[in-house]
Amino acid sequence: MATRTIGSGSTAVTQDMLRRALEGRKVNVINPLVALTLLISLLASLAILVVLLWDVVAKSMPVWQERGWSVITNDLSPRPEETGMVQGIFGSVMLTVVVVILSFPLGVAAAIYLEEYARDTRLTRILVANIRNLAGVPSIVYGLLGLTVFVKLILEGMVGQLSGRTLIAGGMTLSMLVLAIMVITTQEALRAVPMALREASYGVGATPWQTIRHHVLPVASPAIFTGSVLTLARAFGESAPLLLAGAVLSTFFAAPEGTPITSLVMSEKYTALPIIIYNWSRQPQTEYIALTAAAIVALLVILLVVNAGTILARDALERRRIR
Amino acid sequence: MSTRMELASTVVEDAVSPGPSAGLAGSAGSSAIFEIQDLNVYYRDFHAVTDTSLNIYQNEITALIGPSGCGKSTVLRCLNRMNDLIDGARVEGRVTYHGIDLYGSSVDPVEVRRRVGMVFQKPNPFPKSIYENIVFGPRVAGWKGNFDDLVEETLVRAALWDEVKDKLENSAFDLSGGQQQRLCIARAIATSPDVVLMDEPCSALDPIATYRIETLMRELKKQYTIVVVTHNMQQAARVSDRTAFFSVDVGEEGQRTGRLVEYDMTDRVFTAPSMKETEDYITGRFG
């Protein structure tokens, strides 16, 4: 007999039947359709990004060709042919420094408390849920918070500054904006550290802080680091809160010729790159179309460089750590 | 419930009274390191272990055996307050260590764990060098001395020195699973503990690595007291002096509660168990 019987009883099948079942290609419409839809979604989002990049780069080309680096290095000026964005870049960098100083230690500390110390009670769960809600609050709301609390109440009311719309107030506002996200990303990083590592440390008689300091944080730090930089990138590109809580230096409020760039930190006259983009885009003169595009390119390049640097630094960190 | 408590206490008395290996039991009778009385452990609403009483004796290997979910690991983790790390864990009853109430309000769990070391089911070395794995415990305990000597001495005692002496700065993750587990044992004894708790130390290892760990355990019991949880009954029979058999009661709503059935000298438990349940389990007729 050529056919062999496989199995026994009522479920017995011949080898031919088995072969047909194994080789039989049933017409499957769903699977390729799903794959195709997913691919189209991916390509669509990529295409939008490419068009956007192409648009700003192309529009900004005349400025780069005519003005060269002076678009970057010049101060703001009411005359479009002379204006530049160095004050904005400086302001954005200084804002980011303030945000790092305020939100990084606060956010990481809060996350360590929630993940490593706080007992899993109803109160903790309510807290965590609300931190997640805070991360979703629109940035303009934080601008209002910055205006009422930092500008009016603290700097003008308590410190007694004539105008509280300083870079410090702007930085504090942005810090509040990213704090919740900072807490969440750090929490995720800490949660990814295996419990077995903590048990090993407690098992040899380490205190909670020794465990966190020597074992949990070193393992979690690359993820905390990456998350923080991506969070800071968000603060770097924010404009709405700054419109409310400061950044009054614009095309019309140019700092007097020769103002040292550092004095922009403490005085009320500072600006940030996103604010420059916002202001230039509202100007009627046609020169500003190319200038706006150039400022967007500058913002994107800075963000891309920082993000790429972060990834490289994280990889270096992970390689140094013994796995 | 009262009958069960009586049962537990009579079983404990049995264990203390001279059994088949009378010399051992007799010498150990006065040196109970841990005394567990009426222990009940809860994880939130879940009653994990009920009314367990047993004593752990110095320089012996005590094996805790039983089916999954019988609470043997839970009991083990009460001995160095490792259950404190679990949210919602609650311990009732009395656990004394050299006569001191381990759950007394002024007891610092960190100090307990420096004296009662632990080895876990899955080898979990620190993601650091072999050297760092050994010195971490003594260092955080504020130990002052020659760390190089300590590392050598500890690794020799853990029967790992010859294999790793030329690569102390290498990552602990470069070692094989069995070597990692011996490193974890070395790490546990580096702080010169009194007791070493082992939670299924060989369940992730092959038979040869298991054999080496068992040999090591027999060597270590000269200096330390060892309590080992194991799924492997042959292992309990091979290495332990006393065996506690736990079983699990399934409640009406499917909740599983562990209970101590029998505690006695190991050869008695395996050759002439006093409880039918024990006999069924060790002969493979369980469940």
Three-state secondary structure readout of B89-149: EEEEEEEEECCEECCCCCCCHHHHHHHEEEECCCCCCCCCEHHHHHHHHHHHCCCCCCHHH
Query: Which of B87, B88, B120 is closest, CB to CB, to A199?
Result: B120
Query: What total of structural domains would you count in chain A?
Result: 1
Query: Which of B87, B171, B188 is closest, CB to CB, to A204?
Result: B188
- Write down the pLDDT at residue A270: 78
- Write down the pLDDT at residue B3: 38
How many whole angstroms separate alpha carbon B36 and alpha carbon B29? 15
Low-confidence ranges of chain A (pLDDT < 70): 1-12, 24-26, 162, 247-268, 321-323
Query: Which of B136, B184, B191 is closest, CB to CB, to A214?
Result: B136
- Write down the pLDDT at residue B87: 84
Q: Measure the CA angle with vertex A275, ends A269 and A277; round to 5°.
A: 135
- Write down the pLDDT at residue B8: 37
pLDDT: which is higher, B208 or A260: B208
- Write down the pLDDT at residue B196: 95
Q: Is the pLDDT of residue B45 over 60?
A: yes
- Cβ-based contacts of A191 with chain B (< 8 Å): none
B36 touches B92 (CB < 8 A): no
Q: What distance in Å separates residue B97's CA from the closest CA in chain A?
A: 16
User: A204 vs B124: CB contact, 8 Å cut-off?
Assistant: no
* Closest among B70, B68, B77, B3 to B36, alpha carbons compared: B77
Q: What distance in Å separates residue B259's CA from the closest CA in chain A?
A: 25
Question: Domain segments of chain B: what residues?
Answer: 2-123+195-282
Phi/psi for A82 (5° steps) reads -115, -10
Please count the other Cβ atoms lying within 10 Å of the Cβ belonging to residue A81: 12
User: B120 vs A200: CB contact, 8 Å cut-off?
Assistant: yes
User: A119 vs B87: CB contact, 8 Å cut-off?
Assistant: yes
Please report, rounded to a whole number, the percentage of residues in chain B having pLDDT higher than 90.
60
- Cβ-based contacts of B188 with chain A (< 8 Å): 203-204
A297's tokens: 């390119």
| Most confident listed range (A119-123, B174-178, B280-284) | B174-178
pLDDT tens-digit series, residues B124-156 = 999 999 999 999 999 999 999 999 999 999 999
Q: What distance in Å separates residue B284's CA from the closest CA in chain A?
A: 31
* Radius of gyration (C-alpha) of chain A in whole angstroms: 28
pLDDT tens-digit series, residues B80-118 = 999 988 888 999 999 999 999 999 999 999 999 999 999
- Write down the pLDDT at residue A7: 65
Q: Is B33 exposed, middle or buried (0-12, 13-18, 19+ CB in 10 A)?
A: buried
How many whole angstroms separate alpha carbon B48 and alpha carbon B64? 15
Q: Is A314 exposed, middle or buried (0-12, 13-18, 19+ CB in 10 A)?
A: middle
CB of B113 within 8 Å of a chain A CB? The answer is yes
Query: Largest Cα–Cα distance of chain B, in whole Å?
Result: 59
- Cβ-based contacts of B80 with chain A (< 8 Å): 203
- 3-class SS of residue A221: helix
Query: Largest Cα–Cα distance of chain A, in whole Å?
Result: 103
- Write down the pLDDT at residue A285: 85
Strand B242-250 and strand B61-65: the pairing is parallel
Q: Is the pLDDT of residue B75 over 90?
A: yes
- Cβ-based contacts of B114 with chain A (< 8 Å): 204-205
Concatenating the DSSP letter of every residue in B177-201 gives HHHHHHHHHHHHHHT--SEEEEEST
In B, residues 173-192, which contact A (CB 8 Å cutoff)? Answer: 173, 184, 187-188, 190-191
- Write down the pLDDT at residue A86: 84
Question: A95 lies in a domain?
Answer: yes
* Closest among A277, A275, A270, A272 to A294, alpha carbons compared: A277
Question: A57 lies in a domain?
Answer: no
B93 touches B39 (CB < 8 A): yes
What is the overall mean pLDDT for chain B? 85
- Cβ-based contacts of A118 with chain B (< 8 Å): none
Phi/psi for A9 (5° steps) reads 65, -145
User: B173 vs A201: CB contact, 8 Å cut-off?
Assistant: no
- Cβ-based contacts of A323 with chain B (< 8 Å): 127, 171, 173
Of all residues in chain B, the one with the smallest CA distance to A218 is: B127
How many whole angstroms separate alpha carbon B134 and alpha carbon B187? 5
- Write down the pLDDT at residue A259: 62
- Write down the pLDDT at residue A80: 82
CATH number at residue A144: 1.10.3720.10
Phi/psi for B249 (5° steps) reads -100, 130
Close Cβ partners of B270 (under 8 Å, ≥ 6 residues apart): B233, B236, B237, B243, B282
* Closest among A222, A233, A234 to A192, alpha carbons compared: A222
Q: Which CATH superfamily is domain B2-123+195-282 in?
A: P-loop containing nucleotide triphosphate hydrolases (3.40.50.300)
Q: Is the pLDDT of residue B2 over 70?
A: no
- Cβ-based contacts of A199 with chain B (< 8 Å): 82, 85, 118, 120, 124
- 3-class SS of residue B42: strand
- Write down the pLDDT at residue A71: 84
Structural domain containing residue A292: 66-320
| pLDDT tier for residue B16 given thresholds of 50, 70 and 90 | very low
